[in-house]
Chains A and B, each alone.
Chain A
Amino acid sequence: MISLAGRDILHSWSKFVLTGIGLGLLIGVTLTMAGVYRGMVDDAKALLNNSGADIWVVQQETQGPYAESSSLRDDVYRALLAQPGVSRAANVTYLTMQVRLGNADVRAMVVGFEPGQPGEPGYLVAGRQITRSHYEAVADVKTGFQLGDTIRIRRHDYRVVGLTRRMVSSGGDPMVFIPLKDAQEAQFLKDNDAILNERARTTANPTLNRPGVPGLLDAILASQNANHNVNAVLLQIAPGTEPEHVASGIRRWKHLQAFTRTQMEEILVSKLIATSAKQIGMFLVILAIVSAAIVAFIIYTMTLGKIREIAVLKLIGTRNRTIAGMILQQAMGLGLIGFMVGKTAATVWAPFFPKFVLLEPGDAVRGFIVVMVICALASTLAIRVALRVDPATAIGG
């Protein structure tokens, strides 16, 4: 038996191809939306992996440093190093801000780290790691910075000495790594006017500026201007040590919050990007409905244009299932063309997105199945119309 659907598609191939391209672009957008979500999850995992930490220690009752703000004294790491099972500990700061290059601002997450310690960029694609104590930076390639560029963070200039990649915040902002002391200053140091104002306030306070207590005011002023805070301490644990065991000890005895990698991944994926995931999920649902409506409308219109032929086919003895199969196959064919166009389009345009778009083969397979199911469901309206066609309409009168 010849394929009626195949012949019809070949006969009006230009209509099918053009419709398929239109549908394909819609499917491409759908696949890209799924890719954006996957990219966010992958970015979150890359952020954790590249930090090199096994445990994140943050301020008590916070879920920092990525999901909430957290502030710790920068000498806490010493006590943490003394904990059983901890092999390395390092302070880090995270601050999302505008980094200026020339006249342009780039939104970036500025990371303060100690070279050679957990928290430094895992690998470089160009240049070198930071070797000087101040005013050098390593930037993610997504910032658009080049080696040798001079960027401005707060009141200081930094020279870009290295480039890394896949180092972005959970919000998708590329990271700029600078020495910890510089980052602490950038994050916590007030501007000069505010310092002068604060000094005047402190000096005018008789409780803090007592006559007969030499050195008190100077000590207080020095304390106010010092930057001894960090956002988190990253820990690496000794081989064979159970991370949760170490983390629970820190929570119990150090009055700090400690998250293992699993827990931090849960915070990033399930909490931090949960709203974005729901947003994308809504888009996917809407796009699926729109795709189904388009396929249904096209197949329905094409079927209406063949009512007389369908009546003739039924009159000459074509089975209902053959006619239904023809319409179903056409809908599936349209879906197949659409999916191929969509997958190709998504693959071509994904690298041009500002955020990482991860097109997973599994998603493509799931997308293909969903497209086929949608097309099959969308064809039911047209099949219903076709099956109701009275063969008698082929005979005049």
Chain B
Amino acid sequence: MKSFGIHIEGLRKRYGEGDTAVDALKDVNMTVAPGEVVGLIGPSGSGKSTLLKCLGAVIEPTAGRMTLGDEVIFEDGWKIPDLRALRRDRIGFVFQAPYLIPFLDVTDNVALLPMLAGKANGEARKRANELLEALDVGHRAKANPSQLSGGEQQRVAIARALANQPPVILADEPTAPLDSERALSVVRILNEMAQQFRTAIIVVTHDEKIIPTFKRIYHIRDGKTYEERGLGAA
């Protein structure tokens, strides 16, 4: 199993040029070890989403350095030619809403990623079912997403994020639509999955309920990150 973390140094992102330029990220430094879950907290407009988009390789940072495991993926430009494959194979995404594909059943929602990566259908579905069992939604494998509760949908989304065994998962407010019990359940699952698969997980959140569960928290303010020891055991 791959066992990478993510390391970010001096990451900057500037939108526009000249007088109208806006520095969304000014100096972002962050390290997340394999198997670790860290929180990323900040007010609206602080640069959380921009950071996630940079980490998710959907927008290009202006400067800085990003390392995934022992491989530099960004330094004065992308070092990986195929960003689509990078996102598919090495970065998992969990969104605020699950955004499951409504016309695929639960198994295929999860199996889609390994299939996109070239795995055979049978192998991909086997992997999907293993993950669904691990996340305690194996009994809903043949259901449509619309038939699941919010918590179940989010667990399926986590399974999808894990499907290609990525070294890093970016979770964008994954507990926002959930009540306290389910929100804490999702965090517990993320922690378990991080441990089990040695995945580095960054959770962007505003959710006061789950903030205390993080062992380390990064605050982002005015485009800069500040690390803080958390109260949690993660």
Contact = CB atoms under 8 A, between A and B. Distances in A.
Question: Are A and B subunits of one complex?
Answer: yes
Given A1-B121, A2-B112, A397-B52, A316 B87 contact: yes
A286 interface: no
A11 B103 contact: yes
A189 interface: no
B108 A316 contact: no
B148 interface: no
A10 B85 CA distance: 29
A2 B56 contact: no
Contacts of A313: 101
B103 A395 contact: no
Interface string B70-100: 0000000000000011011100010110010
B115 A2 contact: yes
B101 A309 contact: yes
B129 interface: no
B134 to A, nearest CB: 20
A4 B103 CA distance: 8
Contacts of A1: 115-116, 121
Interface in A1-47: 1-2, 4, 7-8, 10-12
B112 A394 contact: no
A308 B53 contact: no
A239 to B, nearest CB: 69
A10 B58 contact: no
Given A317-B84, A395-B49, A390 B104 contact: no
Given A2-B115, A395-B172, A396-B173, A315 B104 contact: no
B105 to A, nearest CB: 9
Nearest to B111: A2
Contact of A10 (B50, B101, B103): B103
- The size bracket of the interface on A is 20 to 34
Contacts of B50: 397
A5 to B, nearest CB: 9
B112 A395 contact: no
Interface in A283-322: 308-309, 312-319, 322
Contacts of A319: 84, 116
Contact of A317 (B53, B88, B101): B88
B104 A316 contact: no
Interface in A364-395: 390-392, 394-395
A87 to B, nearest CB: 73
Contacts of A315: 56, 58, 87, 93
Contacts of A11: 102-103, 144
A395 B56 contact: yes
Given A315-B58, A315-B87, A308 B102 contact: no
B99 A394 contact: yes
A151 to B, nearest CB: 64
Contact of A2 (B49, B93, B96, B104): B104
B62 to A, nearest CB: 16
- The size bracket of the interface on B is 20 to 34
Nearest to B85: A317
A308 B95 CA distance: 11
Contact of A395 (B84, B95, B121): B95
B38 to A, nearest CB: 18
B95 A317 contact: no
A323 B14 CA distance: 31
Interface string B113-132: 10111000100000000000
B48 interface: yes
B59 interface: yes
Given A392-B53, A395-B52, A317 B116 contact: yes
A2 B124 CA distance: 11
Contacts of B88: 316-317
Given A315-B93, A317-B85, A7 B108 contact: yes
Interface in A173-227: none
Given A315-B93, A397-B50, A391 B58 contact: yes
A391 B91 CA distance: 14
B99 A7 contact: no
A391 B87 CA distance: 11
A7 B170 CA distance: 28
B141 to A, nearest CB: 15
Interface in B21-43: none
Nearest to A393: B58
Contacts of A390: 58
A392 B58 contact: yes
Given A392-B53, A394-B95, A395-B49, A317 B103 contact: no
A317 to B, nearest CB: 2
Contact of A8 (B103, B111, B115): B103
Interface string A238-268: 0000000000000000000000000000000
A312 B59 contact: no
Interface centre among B53, B59, B115, B121 (most CB of A within 10 A): B53
B163 to A, nearest CB: 9
User: Top 9 closest A-B pairs, CB basis?
Assistant: A397-B49, A317-B88, A11-B103, A392-B58, A8-B103, A312-B99, A7-B103, A317-B87, A391-B58
Interface of A: 1-2, 4, 7-8, 10-12, 308-309, 312-319, 322, 390-392, 394-397
7 contacts: A2-B104, A4-B104, A7-B104, A11-B103, A309-B99, A312-B93, A397-B49
Given A316-B93, A316-B116, 14 more contacts: A2-B111, A4-B101, A4-B104, A7-B104, A11-B102, A312-B101, A315-B58, A316-B112, A317-B88, A391-B58, A392-B56, A394-B99, A395-B56, A395-B93
